[in-house]
Structure 1
Amino acid sequence: MQISESKRLFAHAQQFIPGGVNSPVRAFRAVGGEPLFIKKAEGAYLMDEDGNQFIELINSWGPMILGHNHPMIKEAVLKAMEDGTSFGAPTAKEIEIAELIVSMVPSVEKVRMVNSGTEATMSAIRVARGYTGRDKFIKMEGNYHGHGDSFLISAGSGAMTMGNPDSPGVTKGTAKDTLLAPYNDLEAIETLVAANKGEIAALILEPVPGNMGLCLPKAGYLQGLRDICTREGIVLIFDEVMTGFRLAKGGAQELFGVIPDMTTLGKIIGGGMPVGAYGGKKEIMEFVSPSGPVYQAGTLSGNPIAMAAGLAMLNHLNTHPEEYARLNHIGELISDGIMAINKELGLNYTVNRLGSMYSMFFTDQEVYDFATAKESDTALFGKYFQAMLKRGVYLAPSQFESLFLSTALSDELIHKILQAHRESMIELMH
């Protein structure tokens, strides 16, 4: 029997790369089997090194909102490359994208470009501490803000999937300044604030978490956080690395009408290139060097290739609001279709959706925070993942990841996805 190219590459990779992958969830540990090595992506499809083609619902964990290898983005990148790939000096494109972000995101009056979501969140916390002169901050259990030391305390996403939410290497000194609260629980926030009066610099959260599977904020929750932070002089930070420019032009803050003090961004503003950003109120952002004393730097920050891709993507979304109606319609067709099939088969699994993000949890209980997400049957999810893969649909290889849809999904492809779901669920029942 001939070994598959993906299997051969994975065995080879493990000799030189920890676990054979450069990001833990990619290893397929949570779903069994071994990872597929991808050779090409186009539109709604991934193609692996063995020539297999899959309809995929991850879109590089969010940024490919228009589908893979979009001609507009490709043209912008190739044109930018004619002038060089990196300068380590200011460019006009940095101003253009900053002005565009400020015009689109309600909370952002000034913005600093970085290279990843992790850099964005680390920097935002540092700036909030510098601005307030306080050390502690609050994060929500199961919210994932990248792999900065301060954030790997009850983290979601890959940390959950690997069964290692509190990472070794994070010091007790770092951990003591991170205060934890359950998502969707305002009373817990009030308790933490009362116990740490005048010591809390910031409260950071994913307004719509996608890293413990998709969870939705309860009515009044985000506004309640806004009110507490305003009262206590705490910097409210929305981590919109996933939701920014995806749920609406102005992200979750526009959708829910709650304006944070600072926002972290990523994914879509790179159009597939490595990029992140953090921004917020002018008086807070003026604390960032060289305007102020809080230091943050990066040779590749504002990289001209990433800026060209991001400008093309954001300009398109800013001038084509109908894309959001289409995305919402696609999300509705898929999630409603899944729920209808489940009901027909006598299954009662929880499906959470908002716009073009959704998750199906293998539990019949409502999922609204870290504790309820963990009630899911992860072994059953692993079997479902493999059953869908066998039928040509590539899902996120973890129960604790949101799926991200793109405008490249036609009605025909949506029908194929739902047919694969039906067949997979029947297979799981027998």
Structure 2
Amino acid sequence: MLYQRSSQLFVEANKVIPGGVNSPVRAFKSVGGNPIFIKEAKGAYLFDEDDNKYIDYINSWGPMILGHAHEPVINAIIEKAKKGTSFGTPTELETKIAELAVSMVPNIDKIRFVNSGTEACMSAVRLARGYTKRDKIIKFSGCYHGHSDSFLIAAGSGLSTFGVPNSPGVTEGTAKDTLLARFNDIENVKSLFEANKNEIAAIIIEPVPGNMGCIPPKASFLSSLRALCDENGTLLIFDEVMTGFRLAKGGAQELYGVRADIACYGKVIGGGLPVGAFAGREEIMNYLSPMGPVYQAGTLSGNPLAMAAGYQMLLELNSDAQIFSRLEEKTAYLEKGIDKVLSENNIDFTINRVGSMISVHFDKNEVYDFETAKNGDNETFKKFFHELLKKGIYIAPSAYETWFITDALSYEDLDYTIKSIDEVAKTL
């Protein structure tokens, strides 16, 4: 394939945008080469500025669950835009989408809309701290909750060691209140509680992490976290920015039958437009301003265009009884096909999958946390990525990112993908 126009655009972008991109993973630093500039998308396909066509397995990092430019969603945006794009006042549509979301998700009474997943997680942690009157939080190595200061923390040594910043600009004062735990290791979490008695406001976790590849939670891990939180007066925050309305109507809470005190949303809930949200029990959510003392605000929160897109998306997901089973079946079909061809070509690999989230790790050993995810052969992944790109298949440009399946994919698309992976595997 030729990428002349994309390469030219990347040179121009670097002159006026740091690194030429507005989000780092887009720069292809993990895989080498220059990023592809997309011109348009429809259904399961992307079209770049050089008119190359790709089967898309990123789907805007998750929200395009019904496919790109899904007509009912696009029409809802167009009709709403004709009436104005932003008012900075309450609208009826905010209440309608809130009522719909609350009806779809177990264990939530009220929801507050914001503009991104980062903002949702940041606000959820502030709310948890205000509600519990405690400062410290536990997060898990490899779980990504956006770029708020509290989340950009790397682990220190020792069970009770405070975190240290792993991004310049994050102060040690902020870092000291974030404790690092190992995903799928409940004993490690218990040790943090023992070393910080009555100090931990919340645990925040991706119930199915998607930023170290797809990592399924081990049996009873999430329910054990729930029990620990109950024992210690700590709130459990599920970051469902990726899993919410994707793994099931009610997200991971429904799938695993584990109750979160606060859940964070994004991606699907915006129908492709910038939206985030956090939701929880009434007594917790009422602690937010203007009812309570915890402040959170935003001029564009509940933006009518985003609300229109999200409402239409949730309506369709709520009314289609087979959508999640179709996504499950298509992703399982892809998993089975990839497993077969990589095995036949004697490649060391592990496939992780939960519902319509899937990742391929080039390591024969089980991948269950960030440390095991880092054992994968990244050089093999780089070649795998670029060879698939040449065949018109666009997967995440990082070994540490989940693939997201859209219902717009046909079985012909899946068969072509499996055939292409077979051909690429022979060169690895």
What interval of TM-score do these two structures reach, taking the shorter chain for normalisation?
Answer: over 0.9
- Structure 2 counterparts to residues 228-307 of structure 1, below 5 A: 228-307=228-307
Matching of residue 376 in structure 1 with residue 391 in structure 2:
no
Q: Which residue of 2 aligns with 1:109?
A: 109
- Alpha-carbon deviations, 1:110-167, whole Å to 9, x = none? 1000000000000000000000000000000000000000001139xxxxxxxx9811
Distance 1:216 1:153 in 2: 22
Q: Which residue of 2 aligns with 1:191?
A: 191
Give, in angstroms, the shift of residue 303 of structure 1.
0.3
Q: Which residue of 2 aligns with 1:73?
A: 73
Distance 2:176 2:154 in 1: 13
Give, in angstroms, the shift of residue 425 of structure 1.
0.8
Distance 2:230 2:98 in 1: 26
Distance 1:165 1:359 in 2: 28
- Structure 2 counterparts to residues 403-418 of structure 1, below 5 A: 403-418=403-418
Distance 1:236 1:401 in 2: 24
SS at match of 1:14: helix
Q: Are 2:3 and 2:36, in contact at CA under 8 Å, matched by a contact in 1?
A: no
- Structure 2 counterparts to residues 121-136 of structure 1, below 5 A: 121-136=121-136
Q: Which residue of 2 aligns with 1:62?
A: 62
Q: Are 1:107 and 1:263, in contact at CA under 8 Å, matched by a contact in 2?
A: no
Q: Are 2:213 and 2:400, in contact at CA under 8 Å, matched by a contact in 1?
A: yes
Judging changes above 3 Å, is the alpha-carbon distance between structure 1 residues 207 and 89 closer, same or farther for their aligned structure 2 residues? same
Give, in angstroms, the shift of residue 343 of structure 1.
1.4
- Alpha-carbon deviations, 1:23-53, whole Å to 9, x = none? 0000001111100000000001000001101
SS at match of 1:180: strand
SS at match of 2:6: helix
- Of the structure 1 ranges 129-138 and 340-349, higher mean CA displacement relative to structure 2 is found in 340-349
SS at match of 1:217: coil
Distance 1:320 1:251 in 2: 15
SS at match of 1:138: strand
SS at match of 1:111: strand
- Structure 2 counterparts to residues 163-174 of structure 1, below 5 A: 166-174=166-174
Distance 1:15 1:379 in 2: 29
Q: Are 2:268 and 2:310, in contact at CA under 8 Å, matched by a contact in 1?
A: yes
Distance 2:225 2:352 in 1: 22
Cα RMSD (Å): 1.2
- Structure 2 counterparts to residues 383-394 of structure 1, below 5 A: 383-394=383-394
> Which residues of structure 1 form unaligned runs of 5+?
156-163
Q: Which residue of 1 aligns with 2:160?
A: none
1:230 alignment partner AA? D
Distance 1:15 1:357 in 2: 36
Distance 2:411 2:377 in 1: 30
> Which residues of structure 2 form unaligned runs of 5+?
156-163
Distance 1:165 1:45 in 2: 39
SS at match of 1:415: helix
Q: Which residue of 2 aligns with 1:159?
A: none
- Alpha-carbon deviations, 1:185-210, whole Å to 9, x = none? 11011100010000000000000000
1:56 alignment partner AA? D
- Structure 2 counterparts to residues 76-87 of structure 1, below 5 A: 76-87=76-87
Aligned length: 419
Matching of residue 42 in structure 1 with residue 42 in structure 2:
yes
- Structure 2 counterparts to residues 315-394 of structure 1, below 5 A: 315-394=315-394
Matching of residue 24 in structure 1 with residue 50 in structure 2:
no
Q: Are 1:85 and 1:305, in contact at CA under 8 Å, matched by a contact in 2?
A: yes
Q: Are 1:121 and 1:264, in contact at CA under 8 Å, matched by a contact in 2?
A: yes
Give, in angstroms, the shift of residue 105 of structure 1.
1.1
Q: Are 1:142 and 1:154, in contact at CA under 8 Å, matched by a contact in 2?
A: no
- Alpha-carbon deviations, 1:210-240, whole Å to 9, x = none? 0111000000000000000011000000000
Q: Are 2:142 and 2:212, in contact at CA under 8 Å, matched by a contact in 1?
A: yes
Judging changes above 3 Å, is the alpha-carbon distance between structure 1 residues 3 and 251 closer, same or farther for their aligned structure 2 residues? closer
Give, in angstroms, the shift of residue 348 of structure 1.
3.3
Matching of residue 312 in structure 1 with residue 309 in structure 2:
no
SS at match of 2:427: helix
- Alpha-carbon deviations, 1:41-88, whole Å to 9, x = none? 000100000110101100000000001000011111011111100001
Distance 1:283 1:294 in 2: 13
2:59 alignment partner AA? N
- Alpha-carbon deviations, 1:384-426, whole Å to 9, x = none? 0001001110000000000000011101111111111111111
Give, in angstroms, the shift of residue 3 of structure 1.
7.5
Distance 2:3 2:389 in 1: 18
Q: Which residue of 1 aligns with 2:395?
A: 395
Distance 2:290 2:379 in 1: 51
Q: Are 1:6 and 1:37, in contact at CA under 8 Å, matched by a contact in 2?
A: yes
SS at match of 2:238: strand
SS at match of 2:22: coil
Give, in angstroms, the shift of residue 260 of structure 1.
0.6
Distance 1:234 1:420 in 2: 48
2:386 alignment partner AA? Q
Q: Are 2:38 and 2:49, in contact at CA under 8 Å, matched by a contact in 1?
A: yes
SS at match of 1:203: strand
- Of the structure 1 ranges 415-424 and 111-120, higher mean CA displacement relative to structure 2 is found in 415-424
Q: Which residue of 2 aligns with 1:158?
A: none
Q: Which residue of 2 aligns with 1:427?
A: 427
Query: Structure 2 length normalisation: TM-score?
Result: 0.97
Q: Which runs of at least 4 in structure 1 moved beyond 6 Å after TM superposition?
A: none
Judging changes above 3 Å, is the alpha-carbon distance between structure 1 residues 3 and 269 closer, same or farther for their aligned structure 2 residues? closer
Q: Are 2:97 and 2:310, in contact at CA under 8 Å, matched by a contact in 1?
A: yes
Distance 1:347 1:15 in 2: 41
Distance 2:401 2:179 in 1: 23
Distance 1:355 1:133 in 2: 37
SS at match of 1:337: helix
SS at match of 1:193: helix
Distance 1:3 1:41 in 2: 17
